[in-house]
Amino acid sequence: GKPPTKKAKVLHKASWSAKIGAFLHSQGTGQLADGTLTGQDALVLGFDWGKYLQEHSYKAAPVSCFKHVPLFDQWDDVVKGMKVEVLNSDAVLPSRVYWIASVIQIVGYRALLRYEGFENDAGHDFWCNLGTVDIHPIGWCAINSKILVPPQTIHAKYTDWRSYLMKKLVGARTIPVDFHMKMAESMKYPFRQGMRVEVVDKNHVSQTRMAVVDTVIGGRLRLLYEDGDSDDDFWCHMWSPLIHPVGWSRRVGHDIKKTEEKRNDMANHPTFRKIYCDAVPYLFKKVRAVYSEGGWFERGMKLEAIDPLNLGNICVATVCKVLLDGYLMISIDGATSDDGSDWFCYHASSHAIFPANFCKRNNIELTPPKGHDAKTFSWERYLEETKSRPAPSRLFNTDCPNHGFKAGMKVEAVDLMEPRLICVATVKRVVQRLLSIHFDGWDNEYDQWVDCESPDIYPVGWCELTGYQLQPPVVPEPTTPAKAKEVPKKKKKPYGKKRKKLPAKARSVKQPAKKPSATNSKREAKAASQALPEPAPDEIIAVRVKEETIDPSDAEFGETELPVPISSIKQEDTD
């Protein structure tokens, strides 16, 4: 190719942060083929987490609670009181200048910062996403010949800013030098466009279909069914239990839809032109090995399970078929179709299935089969009536890690009824490792139960970090000219059919559709989100967020202590 230009040489010598910045900002901008906004374009319509959390004094779940997000295992080192070098937005110089700021508060990936010199004045505090490349460790300016300039508002407050900063920096902590390098590394994902997988058929949940990866954003995959059209897609995380390597269905005995020939209009689709391999098995989340000796699940055994078509319900269920490798086909009692089309596959180690009386022991409302009253339902009587037996408690996975989630914490959560949407949400209740997720502004009927290690919940600021559009809470419409658009809530249930609310014919539903609620806002949010499948992969974007303080005394920062040489401090001219 052509030899590097002078400019290229300069870039080659540039600091790693400049390279990473270019890498992070070069991805995820614009729109996906279906109109979904991505990257910085998606953030134009962004939600102000900082304001939302401050106004209501909400708490946010710490990044360390989420095992599938960037730097989750190092985020406890980011503490209140640490110092960073950031872009000085309160300056009138023609070039970019920087100043030192203190972390006042940490909320998910977001931090509330205050420029040094403002002391206890919170009037100029500002929120930012710590994943942005405009936040640097102390000493970065000196190493990269950048100028430190005090904010215009307080430039005359001190005559000797150098001495002032030196006093402030003694013994202070800062972010690690390789912070953004590690951030960029952790945002590289192994799945690529064109890889083939097997995934649950959203229209017939008891079978899988062949699909191809179309887009990867923050570890989330937009899959196109091989025998569908360009709108026949399915969103899920790469660690989702709903996707498997090619050949999985045949190996374990799961039904798979016979792949028909691609439609003519899809033959030239960019994604299908790029198919180059099946996704290899090691890319998928491994399930726990199980041993069936000494008694195992058997067909006809009863248990309790999260209804995959009504994720806010835990129902009486039955093991309908035992597959290989520990997989089970489960059906919800009272809603079973004759052809088994609403059976759903759960692994024996899944945290979505429970022994009989789990709900009773944990004060959760159990959804009984049709014809039974939830208040008077008795497992003992039901087992006797159905001449069945419960699955032994020892067969269930009861591990409960110290996950750190607490009721009231804010998160960003996938609406599993419409998986392309990620919404502002609250952990409503914590039962061992089970979390009840409530979507802010939506009725309780749209709540969903998820596991504490679900890849479908994220910390505050994750959408900004990856460039994915976040759906804001639904706000009640003013009581003046009410919008005629407001429609009665009607929720599309997950993949497949809407249980107990739709007639039998509605059994085949589109992929999880977002919960349309009483307000049309939701509809609009849904429409907007449909246009936003997901942002471009591996992108870090400046963000704002708020709350959740980490005690500085708890974090060990290793070798990121100051003082560090302070680069030339320039007094900004006021004339």
Q: Is the pLDDT of residue 20 over 70?
A: no
Question: What does the pLDDT look like over 396-435, one tens digit per residue?
Answer: 998 999 999 999 999 999 999 999 999 999 999 999 999 9
**pLDDT level of residue 6 (50, 70, 90 thresholds):** very low
Distance (Å, whole) CA 245 – CA 259: 15
CATH number of 302-391: 2.30.30.140
At the topology level, CATH places domain 195-283 in SH3 type barrels. (2.30.30)
Instruction: Kindly state the tokens that stand for 452.
Output: 């504490």
At 528, is the pLDDT very low, low, confident or very high (cuts 50, 70, 90)? Answer: very low
Residue-wise pLDDT for 260-277, tens only, equals: 665 555 555 666 666 667
- Other Cβ atoms less than 10 A from the Cβ of 40: the count is 19
Residue 340, pLDDT score: 78
Instruction: Give the C-alpha separation, 204 to 224, whole Å.
Output: 16
Report which of residues 303 and 336 the model is more confident about: 303
Q: What is the pLDDT of residue 7?
A: 38
H/E element, 20: helix 16-25
Amino acid 142: pLDDT: 93
pLDDT (mean) for 118-147: 92
19-29: average pLDDT: 44
Q: How many CB atoms lie within 10 A of CB 269?
A: 17
- Architecture of the structural domain at 14-185+549-554: Roll (2.30)
pLDDT at 287: 85
pLDDT at position 477:
62
Determine the average pLDDT of the residues in 102-122: 95
Q: What is the pTM of this model?
A: 0.78
Helix-strand-coil percent breakdown of the chain, rounded to 5? 20, 25, 55
Query: Rounded to an integer, what distance in angstroms lies between the CA atom of residue 218 and that of residue 200?
Result: 21
pLDDT reported for residue 5: 42
Tell me, what's the pLDDT at 514?
A: 44
CB 426 within 8 A of CB 416: no
> For all residues of the chain together, what is the average pLDDT?
79
Tokens coding 364: 């959760």
Of 200-209, 230-239, 334-343, the poorest mean pLDDT is in 334-343
Residue 179 has pLDDT above 50, yes or no: yes
Residue 510 has pLDDT above 60, yes or no: no
| Best mean pLDDT range from 402-406, 491-495, 525-529 | 402-406
pLDDT at residue 129 is higher than 60: yes
Percent of the chain residues past pLDDT 70, beyond the cut:
71
The arithmetic mean of pLDDT across residues 176-202, rounded, is 92
Where in the chain are all domains bearing CATH 2.30.30.140? 14-185+549-554, 195-283, 302-391
Please report how the helices 179-186 and 16-25 are oriented relative to each other, as an axis angle in degrees rounded to 10.
Answer: 30
Q: What is the pLDDT of residues 353-393, one digit of tens each?
A: 999 999 999 999 999 998 899 889 999 999 999 999 999 99
pLDDT(108) > 90: yes
- Sorting pLDDT into bands at 50, 70 and 90, what band is 286? confident
* 445/515 Cα distance (integer angstroms): 9
Question: Which of 72, 50, 56 minimizes the C-alpha distance to 457?
Answer: 72
pLDDT score of 275: 61
CB-based contact 509:557 (threshold 8 Å): no
pLDDT of residue 493: 47
The mean per-residue pLDDT over the stretch 268-290 comes to 74
Query: Is the predicted pLDDT of residue 394 greater than 50, yes or no?
Result: yes
Residue 357 has a pLDDT of: 95
Q: Is 443 helix (H, G, I), strand (E, B) or coil?
A: coil
Stretch 215-224: mean pLDDT: 94
Q: Of all helices (H) and strands (E), which one includes residue 101?
A: strand 98-107
In the 3-class helix/strand/coil scheme, how is 523-538 assigned residue by residue? HHHHHHHHCCCCCCCC
Structure tokens at 89: 């937005």
Where does the pLDDT of residue 291 fall: very low under 50, low under 70, confident under 90, or very high at 90 and above?
confident
Mean pLDDT of 460-473: 94
Region 116-133: what's the mean pLDDT?
91
